[in-house]
Amino acid sequence: MATPPPRGDAPAGEPFRAPPERDDLELAQVIEAARAAHESGDLDAVTEIVEEALEAGDIETVSAALAALRPPDRADVFEELDLDQQSLVIVELDEEEAAEILEELEDEDRAELAGHLDPADLAPILDEMDPDEAADILGDLTPEQAELALAAMDDAAEADVRELLAYSDESAGGLMTSEFVALHADETVAQSIDRLRQAGPDSEATYYLYVVDADARLAGIIGLREMIVADPATPIRDLMSTDVIHVEATADQEDAARLMARYYLMALPAVDANGRLVGVITHDDLVGVLQEEATEDMFGLVGLDVEESPYDSVARSVRLRLPWMVANLGMQLMLVTVLKSFEPLFSHVAVLAVLYPLVTGNGGNIGAQTTTLMVRSMALGEIDRTRRLRLLLKEAAVGLSIGMSIGLLAGVVAMAYTGRSDLALRIAVVMVLAMALNLAAGGLAGVLVPLTLRRLGFDPAIASSVLVTSVTDTLGALFFLGLYVWLP
C-alpha cells in the first residue's frame, strides 16, 4: 500500500502521526454524533467530525463517522475533503466501503481521485465494484494507469472489466454490466432455481431473467414469479417468452435509453452481432444517460461546453466559451451589414432605430421556442420523416398567427412612439407586417436548422438556438426596414 501523504501541520516528508487510541465507547459516541447530524440533515457537522479526526490522524474515527451515513450522503461528505485527504481516507477504508464511495462520486471527481491513487491501491477497490462502474473509472485514466490497475486486479474481475472496456463510452455496451445470470432454455425450473441460489445475483439483476440457447444466444425471457409457481420439472423453454426487447451492444446509448423509456423496462439485455447475450443495462444506468443527454442538449442550445462547471477557473470558462462567442459575432455581422445598408434611412427617420428591435427580439423568442421543441422531440425520436413538411407549415402558421397578434399591439406602440402624425400609420402597418413575417420565419428556422444540422451529421442541439437567433435578427431588421422603404 502506498504511503499516505502527510496531513495536518506535519511538514512535508514527515511520517503521518499515529492515531490516538480510542475505546469502543468513544467510537460509539462518534457514530451516534454522526448519525444524529445525518438524521437532522446537517452533513456539515459530520464533515467537521471527519476533518477533525483527519487532523488528529484518527482514521478509525473517520471510517466510523462515514459508515454511519447512507452511501449518497457519505459521498457528499467525502467530496468536501481535498484531494490529498480523499486519497488518504479511501485507501484506509475497507475496500467495499471505498467502492461504495467511489460509485457515488461525480464522474469528474472520481476520475481525479482514481488518477491520484497508486494503481496497486486502486485495484482492490475496483475488485469490489460492479464491472461497469470499474470500467467507467479505468476509461477515464491514462492508458498506462489503467493497465497497471488492471494488472493488479483479481483475475476474474479483470476479465469482466476488460470485456467492457472494448465498448465505447457512448455505446450501449458502455452502459451494461456483465454481472447477470442467464438461464438455459433446456434446463428445468428446478435446475434454474438452483442456479440462481448458487449465483446469488444482486437484486437489480433479477427484474427479468434472460434465457439463452446452447450457443449463448438470447432466446427468451421469464419472470421469477412464473418459475416459482410452475412445476419444478417443467423446461424453461416451455415457460419463457421469445419476444424479448433487446439492443446491440454497439448501438448508441440513446437508442438503449429510448427503448427502456418507451417500453417502461427496468432492464434491457445487450447482444453482440451474433445475438449472444453479453450484458444487461439496468434502470439506474438509464437515469444517468438521460441526465447527460439533457445536460448536453441544454448546454448545446446556448453554445456552452458540457464539460464546463460553475466552479471552473475564469481561464477555463473563457477558453470554453470564447470560440462560440467568436462564431456568434461572425453571424451577427449579417445583421450589421443589413443595418449599414439602411444607414441613410436612420438619419431621416430615427425612430426606426428604436423600434426595429421589437421585431428582431420577438422573432428570436419564437425561434428559440420552436428550436427547443424540435431538439427535445428529435432526441426522443418523435420526429416522423414523412410529416416534416406538415411540421414546417404548422410552425410557420403558428409564427404568422402570433406575429399578427403581437404585431397589432406593437403597431399601436409604434404609433405612440413615432411622434409624427404623417408617419405614424405607415410605421404601424410596417410593424404588423414585419412582425408577422419574422415570427413565421422564426418558426421555419426553428424547424429547419436542427433538421439541417442532423442531416449534416452534427448534434442538432449544438448552437441551434444561436443560429436561429442570428437568422431572425437579420431577417427581422430586413423585413422592418425594407418594408418601410418599399411600401408606398
11 inside domain? no
236 lies in the same domain as 345? no
Note the pLDDT of residue 55. Answer: 83
> Do 236 and 184 contact (CB within 8 A), yes or no?
yes
Residue 400 sits in a domain whose CATH number is 1.10.357.20
277 lies in the same domain as 391? no
- Other C-beta atoms within 10 Å of 339: how many? 17
474 lies in the same domain as 330? yes
295 inside domain? no
Residue 273 sits in a domain whose CATH number is 3.10.580.10
125 lies in the same domain as 62? yes
Residue 141 sits in a domain whose CATH number is 1.25.60.10
Radius of gyration in angstroms for the set of CA atoms belonging to the chain, rounded to a whole number: 31
357 lies in the same domain as 397? yes
Q: What is the sign of the dihedral through the CA atoms of 47, 48, 54 and 57? A: negative
Cell of 133: 462502474
104 lies in the same domain as 43? yes
Alpha helices by DSSP H, listed for 40-70, are 43-55, 59-67
Q: What string of pLDDT tens digits covers the 488 residues of the chain?
A: 444 444 344 433 333 344 444 455 465 666 676 666 666 666 777 788 888 888 887 777 888 888 778 888 888 888 888 888 888 889 888 888 889 899 888 888 888 999 999 999 999 999 999 888 899 899 889 999 999 999 999 998 899 899 899 898 889 998 888 888 899 999 999 999 998 888 776 655 556 799 999 999 999 999 888 898 999 999 999 999 999 999 999 998 888 888 888 888 888 999 999 999 999 998 877 777 777 776 676 676 666 666 667 767 788 778 877 877 887 788 888 888 888 888 888 877 888 888 889 999 999 899 888 988 888 788 767 787 777 888 889 999 999 999 999 889 988 888 887 767 778 888 889 999 999 999 999 999 999 988 988 888 777 776 677 788 889 999 999 999 999 988 87
345 lies in the same domain as 478? yes
In total, how many domains does the chain have?
A: 3
| The total number of residues written for the chain in this structure | 488
Nearest residue to 232 via CA among 270, 191, 197, 267:
191
278 lies in the same domain as 190? yes
309 inside domain? no
375 lies in the same domain as 330? yes
424 inside domain? yes
Note the pLDDT of residue 7. Answer: 39
296 inside domain? no
Dihedrals φ, ψ of 390, to 5°?
A: -60, -40
Range of the domain at 463: 314-486
Please report how the helices 131-139 and 107-116 are oriented relative to each other, as an axis angle in degrees rounded to 10. Answer: 70
448 inside domain? yes
Final residue of a structural domain among 260, 282, 304 = 282
Nearest residue to 416 via CA among 403, 405, 431:
431
> Do 210 and 269 contact (CB within 8 A), yes or no?
yes
145 lies in the same domain as 29? yes
> Do 427 and 418 contact (CB within 8 A), yes or no?
yes
344 lies in the same domain as 411? yes
274 lies in the same domain as 338? no
159 inside domain? yes
Final residue of a structural domain among 282, 303, 324 = 282
Final residue of a structural domain among 114, 146, 170 = 170
Q: Who contacts 1 (Cβ-Cβ below 8 Å, separation ≥6)? A: 91, 118, 120, 121
10 inside domain? no
Q: Who contacts 67 (Cβ-Cβ below 8 Å, separation ≥6)? A: 31, 74, 97
